[in-house]
Amino acid sequence: MARISGAKGVLIHDPRSFLTSLQLDSSVTIQAVNVQSVAGPEHLQFILEQAEESRRRGILYAQRLEVDILLRIACSLQIKKAFDRVGLKKGKQDLAIMAIGPIARVDSVWNRLKRIIPLNFTTLKVTPVRLKKLMSIHRIDGVSLSTVSRTEAPVPGILAEKAALLQFSSG
């Protein structure tokens, strides 16, 4: 089971401490990234599905699921590059937050998270500016877009494919 949401204008003094404070249950993996690195909720759903399937098969990109998720969102196998690209920074920022684990535990953690952070799903909505930035960062051009059979929101699908194929790329 997975849940995703956004959070608007969260003040973070220390990213590591902030992420640690979100770990409310050891059976639930929590990850938070800067929402500017996300191509909407569909993108996050694809990434979480990939990470969960990889964990099930024992082929994660990293030893810890939350790091694997970060690598997949960043489309990079380099942890430092992934943190630089999508990780939380000091200061006020909008977040994308994910929780994955057993249904009852995820629901319990999610309810507690809502008391700590003002969750706001609309924060995940992709703006044209964010989309253009993501396309530039990930080198997605018109030719790439035209090869996608889906006409609605092709960028999340392309990013998910890039994430799935990281071990075969130089990312």
Whether the per-residue pLDDT at 149 is higher than 90: the answer is no
pLDDT in tens, 67-108: 999 999 999 999 999 999 999 999 999 999 999 999 999 999
Whether the per-residue pLDDT at 2 is higher than 70: the answer is yes
- What's the pLDDT at 156? 86
Distance in angstroms between the alpha carbons of the first and the last residue of the chain: 28
- What's the pLDDT at 159? 87
Average of per-residue pLDDT across 131-150: 74
Report the distance separating Cα 105 and Cα 132, nearest Å: 37
Q: How far is the CA of 43 from the CAs of 98, 101, 109, 112, 131, in angstroms?
A: 12, 18, 22, 25, 12
CATH code of 91's domain? 3.30.2380.10
Count the domains in the chain.
1
Tokens for 47, please give them: 């990434």
- What's the pLDDT at 35? 97
Phi, psi of 156 (to 5 degrees): -60, -40
What residues have CB less than 8 Å from 8, skipping those under 6 apart? Answer: 94, 118, 120, 123
- What's the pLDDT at 153? 67
- Residue 17 belongs to what domain range? 2-168
Q: How far is the CA of 52 from the CAs of 9, 34, 88, 120, 162, in angstroms?
A: 29, 21, 22, 24, 17
- pTM metric for this prediction: 0.88
